[in-house]
Structure 1
Amino acid sequence: MKTDVEELTPTRVKLTVEVPFDELKPNLDKAYKEISKQVRLKGFRPGKVPAQLIDQYVGRGAVLQEAVNDALPELYGRAVEDSELFVLGQPEVEITTLDDGKELAFTAEVDIRPKFEVPDYDDLEVTVDDVTVTDEEIEETLGNLSERFATLTTADRPVEDGDFVTIDLSATVDGEDVEEIRTTGYSYEVGSASSVPGLDEALPGMSAEDAKTFTSDLTEGEHAGEAAEVTVTVQGVKTKQAPELDDEFAQLASEFDTLEELRGDVRTRLERQKLLQQVAEARDKALEALLAKVDIPLPEKVVEEEISRRNEQLEQQLQWSGMSREEYLEQEEKSAEDFETEVADAARTAVKGGFVLDQLALQEELGVENEELSEYVVTQAMQMGVQPQQLAQHLTDSGQIPALVSEVLRSKALNLLVENVKIKDESGTELDLEALRREINGEPAAEEATEEAAEEAEEAEETKAGS
């Protein structure tokens, strides 16, 4: 088999492949066998029809087409491997010659990863935010915890914003009942904006057994976009009372005896959260700094696919949250054009980052062990709330193992990059990410771990000598 490679652009090539006809013999044999099972000729059982009769009744052309279709994936794969190309996506294949008994030739146009070298990165420096936990953040966290233990108490007064009310709702559009609105004994937090538009404005000032009718432009259901006459009747009013922040609350909400102990634990947890954010920021900025040193062309089709993937992901999230794209843009205070530009820029950065990490892994001769794949699957399964074996089987059945290997390899390349980049916080302190990891996981520092290991070894030797 002969393969020629023509560079159409720095990110797209055209393969011209010539295949001696003899190499198609296994595929021709397979084609005759498959077609023989489908042909029904008197005197021959299915699968036993001779090749000559298949040529006569079905046609040699049909057999050739079946054989070529079967052979193309393997032939294309060999051509790519022989040419040492890193292809992206599916090729556009065209059969240019099919000379029975002599030759098969085809072309394949496909996007490729650009060829480049990752420059030295030992001199890179990045700055991340300081880790500071304020008293206000601690009190806010304690306040949120207190809210979880709040109780509802009946209030003998008119409704106020923030109250919890029990209400009946009904609505009509042009005199006809709107069934999806009708409800009784519905518990609602005033001001939460989680029911029909206008309800939060109608409730304040009402008392138990009061009724009020107001006009609402419905946003969901069969009558979305239509004006409805909504009637709300208040059955009861309750206020939420959170417990006082004292030692008694600490004992109720935690394993600690005093509020100060709980406050100290909150501080520790917040510090760990911010340390995690600091590590993530360091990784992001390290990659960002490396990308700034690399200038490579990007395949437009790959970028377009990444843009589509991001838009589809957003649509799924908006659908889940019940928010339209227009509402989302309004909330983010962005125009459609600005948002599209932002998504396109992010997609280009993601594609470029993937290329750079792939090349870094190649240059540093990084590999992926089975244990690393298993660890990654277990972590992903925990985040998704499924069994690791179930996720592993799904990844295998759906052919996603190569993508999984690529993801783990890129993560290892990024870890290597971060280990070799100088990272400082805004105060000028140089950070040791391994020490941060130990602190986040509550492990002893490296020196302490070494001392503990030495002490354990010494105790083991003394025990052995004593026995």
Structure 2
Amino acid sequence: MKSAVETLNPTRVRLTVEVPFEELKDSLDAAYKKINQQVTVKGFRKGKIPARVIDQRFGRGAVLEEAVNDALPRFYTDAVNEAEVNPLGQPDVDITELKDGELLAFTAEVDIRPSIEIPDYSGIEVTVDAVEVTDEDVAKSVEQLRDRFASTSPVERAAAEGDVITVDLEAKVDGEVLADGVAEGVQYTIGSGELLDGIDEAVTGKSAGDEATFTSVLKGGSAEGKEAEVTVKVTAVAAREVPELDDEFAQMASEFDTLEELRADSRKRLENMKQYDQATQAQERVLDELIKLAEVPIPEKLLEDEVNTRKHNLEHHQLGQMGLTIDKYLEIQGKTAEEFDAETREQAVKGIKTQFILDELVNKEKLNVNQEELTEHLMRRAASSGMSPDQFAQAVVEGGQVPMLVGEVARGKALAVVVESAKVVDTNGETVDLDDEDEAGETAEAATEDAPADKADEKAAEKSEG
């Protein structure tokens, strides 16, 4: 076999391949055997039809077509290896010559991973938010905990903001009661904004047994988006009571003996959260600067495939689980289809550049992934997918996605190397220490989530749905 490679552009090549006919012998034998099992000829036992009879009855062309289809992937792979290129996606193959008994010639055009020069990243500087936890932050955190321990007790008075009421609802559109517009025994906290616009004003001041009517645009159901006349009947009013902020509350709501200990723990938790957010922010901003420094040509077909994959994952997995259509999602986001397409394309470009740059850095720095690192990453991915680690691992193995997860961890380690050499300061001008290797690796993996839409979560979702 003879092959040559022609560079069409930095991300695409054309392979020209010539194969002596004798190298098709094994595929020709397999083609005759396959056809033998598929056809019957009077006078011959199944599977025992001579090749000359198959040629006469069904045509030599059918045999050649079967043989070439069988052999092409092998010859293409040999040509790729000989040319030492890294193909992306499936090739566009064109058979240019097929002379029976003499020669098979074909061309294959395919996108390739471009050659990338890793820039000098030692001078990258980024600024991140300072880790500051105020007394107000702590008070809000403790108040949220306090709300979780709130209780209610029935009262015989008019409903007021903060009360928990029980109501019956009936919605009419154009004078007709909707089939799904009747609900009884609904509990609602006045002022929470969790039900219908206008209900707070309608029920405030009403006692058990009172009714009110108001108009509101429906947020869901068969008449979603339409204006309805809603009748609400208050059947019960309950006062919501929160426990006193004292040591007794601290003992009830936590493992601490005093309120001050609880507040100190809340402050520490908030600091840890903000430190993690700060580290993630540093990774993301360093990555943005790294991308700006590198020249990365993008294969157009790969980009289109990535855009389509992201749209598919959003529409059929993420939105599907929430019961939303793409049109409803765009309405909620306040975006046009054109704006959404442009944003998705921009994210895809960034993702592809991220993967190319970090993969090259992995090779340059000779970074490896051990079993412990892979297992920790799999556990995090399983948690984010909503599956158990065992289920997720099974889906990943069955889908052949283990190398993809290894790549994710390796890219996270590569980014951590870049961040380690960067100068990171907070908004107060203080140098930020990101030396915690475990945290650096974990947040780096999170920061590279814009890499091309991975199939691991998609395969896991499909398995879960199946």
Alignment TM-score, normalising by the size of structure 2: 0.84
In the alignment, what sits opposite 1:122?
A: 122
Instruction: Provide the rounded CA distance (Å) in 1 between the counterparts of 2:333 and 2:174.
Output: 36
Q: 1:426 to 1:213 in 2, by over 3 A?
A: closer
SS of the residue 1:434 aligns to: coil
Contact 1:275 1:440 in 2 (8 A): no
Unaligned runs of 5+ in 2: 443-466
Deviation by residue 1:225-254 (Cα, 9 ceiling, x = unmatched): 555443221101223222122111111111
Partner Cα separation in structure 1 for residue 47 and residue 15 of structure 2: 37
Q: Which whole-Å CA distance do the structure 1 matches of 2:337 and 2:75 have between them?
A: 45
Q: Structure 1 residues 392, 440: closer, same or farther in 2, change over 3 A?
A: closer
Q: How do 1:241-260 residues align onto structure 2 when only pairs under 5 Å count?
A: 241-260=241-260
Q: Which residue of 2 aligns with 1:353?
A: 354
Alignment of 1:317-396 (within 5 A): 317-321=318-322, 338-396=339-397
CA drift at 1:191: 4.1
Look up the match of 2:108.
108
Query: Does 1:397 find its partner at 2:398?
Result: yes
CA contact (8 A) 2:416 2:440 kept: no
Shift of 1:196: 4.9
Q: Which amino acid aligns with 1:351?
A: I
Equivalent in the alignment of 1:183 = 183
Deviation per CA, 1:357-394, whole angstroms, max 9, x where unpaired? 11111222334445543443233224434343432332
1:145 paired with 2:151, answer no
| Aligned twin of 1:280 | 280
- Count of matched residue pairs: 441
The separation in 2 between residues aligned to 1:223 and 1:439, in whole angstroms, is 49
**Aligned match of 1:64:** 64
- 1:203 CA displacement: 2.6
Any unmatched runs of 5+ in structure 1?
A: 442-467
Whole-Å Cα distance in 1 between the matches of residues 345 and 440 of structure 2?
37
2: CA distance, partners of 1:97 / 1:308:
35
Could you say if the C-alpha distance between residues 81 and 420 of structure 1 is closer, same or farther in structure 2, counting changes exceeding 3 Å?
Answer: farther
Aligned CA distance change for structure 1 residues 296 and 175 (closer, same or farther; 3 Å): closer
Q: Relative to 1, partners in 2 of residues 1:306 and 1:159: Cα closer, same or farther, differing over 3 Å? A: farther
Per mean C-alpha deviation after superposition, the further-off stretch among 232-241 and 295-304 is 295-304
Q: Partner residue of 2:451?
A: none
Give the 3-state SS of the residue equivalent to 2:349 in structure 1.
helix
Whole-Å separation in 1 of the counterparts to 2:319 and 2:197: 19
3-state secondary structure, aligned to 2:40: coil
Deviations 1:272-312, CA, capped at 9 Å, x for gaps: 11111122122212222222211232223333333334444
1:207 shift after superposition: 2.0
Moved more, 178-187 or 216-225: 216-225
Letter matched to residue 393 of structure 2: A
- Quote the offset at 1:342 in angstroms: 3.7
Deviations 1:286-340 (A, max 9, x none): 2222222112322233333333344444445455445666776676566665554
Residue in 2 aligned with 1:11? 11
Residues 201-244 of structure 1 deviation map (CA, whole Å, 9 limit, x = unaligned): 43333221112334444453334455544322110122322212
Say if 2:434 and 2:440, in contact at 8 Å, map to a contact too: no
Partner of 1:33: 33
| Secondary structure of 1:287 counterpart | helix
| Alpha-carbon distance between aligned partners in 1 of 2:12 and 2:62, rounded to the nearest angstrom | 33
Cα distance between partner residues in 2 of 1:318 and 1:36: 50
Q: CA deviation at 1:115?
A: 1.5
Q: Is the 8 A contact 1:272 1:440 kept in 2?
A: no
Cα distance, 1:173 vs. partner? 4.2
1:133 counterpart residue number: 133
1:67 deviation in Å?
A: 2.1
| Amino acid corresponding to residue 343 of structure 1 in structure 2 | T
Q: How has the CA–CA distance of structure 1 residues 326 and 60 changed in structure 2, closer, same or farther, with 3 Å as cutoff?
A: closer
Alpha carbons 1:20, 1:102 under 8 Å: kept = yes
Instruction: Please give the alpha-carbon distance, in whole angstroms, between the structure 2 residues aligned to 1:439 and 1:399.
Output: 28
- Aligned counterpart, 2:300: 300
Q: Against the structure 1 CA distance between its residues 356 and 325, is the aligned structure 2 distance closer, same or farther, given a 3 Å change threshold?
A: same
Report what 1:160 is aligned to: 160
Answer with 252-261 or 330-339: which moved more.
330-339
When residues 322 and 138 of structure 1 are mapped into structure 2, their CA distance, relative to the original with a 3 A threshold, is farther
**Closer, same or farther in 2 for the Cα pair 1:401/1:17, shift >3 Å?**
farther
User: Does the C-alpha gap of structure 1 residues 176 and 153 become closer, same or farther in structure 2, counting only changes over 3 Å?
Assistant: same
**Cα 1:327/1:194, change in 2 over 3 Å:** farther
- Hey, what's the Cα distance between the residues in 2 that align with 1:185 and 1:10? 66
Q: Which amino acid aligns with 1:213?
A: T
- Change over 3 Å in CA distance of 1:426–1:57 after alignment to 2: same
1:86 aligns with 2:53: no
SS in 2 for 1:56: helix
C-alpha distance 163-234 of structure 1, shift in aligned 2 (>3 A): same
Give the Cα separation in 1 of the matches to 2:142 and 2:369.
44
Is the contact made by 2:126 and 2:423 (CA closer than 8 Å) also made in structure 1? yes
Contact 1:275 1:436 in 2 (8 A): no
**2:239 alignment partner in structure 1:** 239
Aligned-partner residue type, residue 150 of structure 2:
A
1:55 and 2:55 correspond: yes
CA separation of 1:51 and 1:198: change in aligned 2, threshold 3 A: farther
Q: How far apart, in 2, do the equivalents of 1:258 and 1:436 lie?
A: 35
Moved more, 93-102 or 382-391: 382-391
Matched residue type, 2:346: D
Change (3 A) 1:290 1:198: same
Secondary structure in 1 matching 2:81: helix
Native 8 Å contact 1:39 1:49 kept in 2 = no
In structure 2, give the amino acid aligned to 1:50.
Answer: P
Distance 1:159 1:101, change over 3 A: farther
- Quote the residue 2:268 is aligned against: 268
Quote the Cα distance in structure 1 between the aligned partners of 2:360 and 2:32: 44
SS, match of residue 231 in structure 1 = strand
Of 24-33 and 225-234, more deviation after overlay is shown by 225-234
What pairs up with 1:450-465 in 2 under 5 angstroms?
none
CA 1:384 to 1:220, structure 2 compared with 1: closer, same or farther past 3 Å? closer
